[in-house]
A and B are shown apart, each in its own frame.
Chain A
Amino acid sequence: MEFKYLIIGGGVAGTTAANAIRQNDQSGSIGIVSDEPHYLYSRIMLSKPNFFLGKIPFEQIWLKDKSWYKNNNIDFRGGKKAVKLDPGSKIIYLDDQTEIKYEKLLLATGLNPRRLPVPGADKQGVFYLRTLDHGKAIIAAVASVKQAVAIGGGFISFEMANLLQLSGAQVSIIIRESRFWEPILDETASQIVEAAIKKSGVNIIPNTEVKQVDGNRHVAGLTLKDGRSISCDMIMCGLGATCDIEWLEESGLKTDRAILADQYLKTNLPDVWSAGDVTAFDDPILQEVVHLGNWVNAQEQGRIAGLNMVGAKQPFTFVSYYTTHGFDISVTFVGNVSPKKEFTTIVRPGPEGRVHTQLLVVNDELVGAVLINQTQILRPISQLIEKNIDIADKHRQLADPNFDLNSLMPNPPT
């Protein structure tokens, strides 16, 4: 088997890349290998309460159907896993012994949830969220859950605790840190988020970790390292995610917990690109290696990688962002919210207890932001980051919530 363009990963990065390739090369053969059997669906919906609670019809999750792959002449091979890359002979080996030769290869395999590393974690009722099948299993379980525990202080925990609580369960969140979303959120931001969570009746248990999961075949509770025990019939793990790159170890591909790519999303191997959550890229804006995991980032990286695979030379300069809504508040991360370089934070305060903005500054330029209930400033903030605007003498304005950020733009809208 042979494709001109072979894409490993059928999520939004891989599929968007296939689309960009097809728009620029009508005849080159394209193959997508996905470890999931499904056509492209909206992974972002898997943790949205409106979807879980049936307010958004299930069918809405499908973003591409069979006819799209057929009309675009894209060969979709679902339920297959790539197990080896031979960059010399340009061959990908699949877990069913198939060998696929490629001219140009894109790796877009995404992230895997980190497993709960304690005894009893294999019991029924312990859930992770990555795939549509995970989502379906959770939808089925949520219907009868009475007491649930979410582990971890991040997006998954935040969104899943919200939907578990909305579906009527009594919910606790266990976090290792002293406050929610530490250290990305500052204390004020954490306080707003925690107040909103607690107001809904969800209990937050900080400064502790799970020692073991209790129960027979099914979860009945868990024991914490501080000795406390909590009874529950469902555990939702949001412990972060890792890239599945072990299968690439022998290939000579440069990795550092993620696949390393340059600003064109090209890896160190000939004719091999990388896109989406599995990719850490040289960010020309920040001038450091950046690894992000979110929907718009994956989508835009897929598009840029696809264009570069058909011969363009476009750097990836998109400022990505992710917004979550839950517990009646919104939390948005823009750009890079955990730069490796030394950074300072400008706080743009809001009405107390409700609105808060953290602006992250490296070398007099904005590189990222955390917005609490501030979605309306996403666009000017993104542009300030993208356009590398020198803000050395603008700290006072940035910290003033009444100052119009649009006026800092080179060509402010009229």
Chain B
Amino acid sequence: MPNQKEYPRRKEGSNIAKIVVDRDLCIGAQSCIAPGQGTFAIDGENKAIVVDVDIADDDALMLAAQSCPTKAILLFDQAGQQLN
């Protein structure tokens, strides 16, 4: 079973309803930290976690997810469709 952590999002006007971090894939490269504008941080196991799920706009989150060199960040809309 994949070791995924889910973060439901409630930001007004956002098309992204959920951020998922796959902890098995994450290598702690931290490429999501800057584009995520405060969304992500690194925990004690050197894995990305979401510390503020609603702080960034959709474009920033898409950029953060695309920046991940292991595709460990997955973004989903209301209907459960993967966006990236």
Nearest chain A CB to B27's CB is how many angstroms away? 5
Chain A 341-374, CB-CB to B under 8 Å as 1, else 0, gives 0000000000000000000000000000000000
Interface bracket on A = 20 to 34
A-B contacts at CB below 8 angstroms, number? 64
Give Cα A318–Cα B38 distance, bound, in whole angstroms.
Answer: 15
Establish whether residues B27 and A50, one from each chain, have CB atoms under 8 Å apart when the complex forms: yes
- With an 8 A cutoff between CB atoms, is A60 at the interface? yes
B interface: dominant SS: loop
Chain B 26-47 near chain A by CB (<8 Å), digits 1 or 0: 0111110110001001100010
Contact present for B34 and A55 (CB under 8 Å): no
Q: Is A211 an interface residue (CB 8 A)?
A: no
Query: How many residues from B make CB contacts under 8 Å with A?
Result: 17
Alpha-carbon separation in the docked complex, A321 to B33 (Å): 10
Q: Please tell me if the beta carbons of B29 and A378 are within 8 angstroms of each other in the complex.
A: no
B69 touches A45 (CB 8 A): yes
The residue of chain A having its C-beta at the shortest distance from the C-beta of B71 within the complex is A60
- Does B50 sit at the interface, judged by CB under 8 A? no
B42 near A375 with CB under 8 A, answer: yes
Q: Smallest distance from the beta carbon of A388 to chain B beta carbons, Å?
A: 17
A378 contacts which of B30, B69, B70 (Cβ < 8 Å)? B30
CB neighbours of B28 from chain A (8 A): 323, 325, 330, 375
Look across to chain A and name the residue whose beta carbon is closest to the beta carbon of B31. Answer: A296
Q: B25 contacts A376, CB within 8 Å?
A: no
Residues of A310-351 whose CB lies within 8 A of B: 318-319, 321-323, 325, 330, 332
Residue in B30, B46, B67, B71 whose Cβ sees the most chain A Cβ within 10 Å: B30
A-to-B contact residues, CB < 8 Å: 12, 42-45, 48, 50, 55-56, 60, 63, 295-296, 299-300, 318-319, 321-323, 325, 330, 332, 375-376, 378-379, 382, 413
What are the 7 closest A-B residue pairs judged by CB atoms, nearest first?
Answer: A44-B69, A42-B69, A375-B42, A296-B31, A323-B30, A48-B27, A325-B46
Q: What are 18 pairs between A and B in contact, CB < 8 Å?
A: A42-B70, A44-B27, A44-B69, A44-B70, A45-B70, A295-B29, A295-B69, A296-B30, A319-B34, A323-B30, A325-B27, A325-B46, A330-B28, A330-B46, A375-B42, A378-B30, A379-B41, A382-B34
By a beta-carbon cutoff of 8 Å, the part of chain B in contact with chain A is 24-25, 27-31, 33-34, 38, 41-42, 46, 67, 69-71
